[in-house]
Amino acid sequence: PILLDGLSRLEYRGYDSAGVAVYSSQTGALSVHKAKGRLRVLSDLLQGGAAVEGTVGIGHTRWATHGEPSDLNAHPHTDVKGDIAIVHNGIIENHQRLRTFLEGKGCTFVSQTDTEVIAHLLHYLYHGDMCQAIREAAGMLEGSWALCVLHRGAPDTLWATRKDSPLVLGLGQ
């Protein structure tokens, strides 16, 4: 409910889809839920948030820049294992070059977005230190972006970074 409420405060912006990723201590996995359309569609799917268990999560409303509006292209995006979830605001100008590189390393993409490239790049760069992987990825990204990352291996931690795009973080009861 907290993530959905936070996203509702951004409804003044245009968007075509919404989604959340939450760490579930019951399953030890990331639970990702996405829906094309207004936030109400996602909220109804999640019974106002009651259908999702967890205490740490990320959410996003997306305005399509890469890929058509769809459930598949909605954020958050995950790496191939589903261990890393990411939301992204902005545009990654070199996403096609990074996608080609990662496909050459065996990554399989399911969306048409530049954001999914970041999730797979983090997976490729992660060797036990997510902060270091994010630093390396940030050095490889061209464009403007704000990122928030959730990793199954560190369920009480959110990582965020930005370059030329806004980012809002909240901490509360």
The tens digit of pLDDT for each residue in 80-123 reads 999 999 999 899 999 999 999 999 999 999 998 999 999 999 99
Rounded Cα–Cα distance for residues 53 and 64 (Å): 28
b/e 21-31 (16+ beta carbons within 10 angstroms → b): bbbbeeeeebb
**What is the pLDDT, as a whole number, of residue 31?**
93
Name the residue type at position 149: V
pTM: 0.90
Q: State which residues of the chain have pLDDT below 70.
A: 13-14, 64-67, 69, 170-173
Q: What is the pLDDT of residue 61?
A: 83
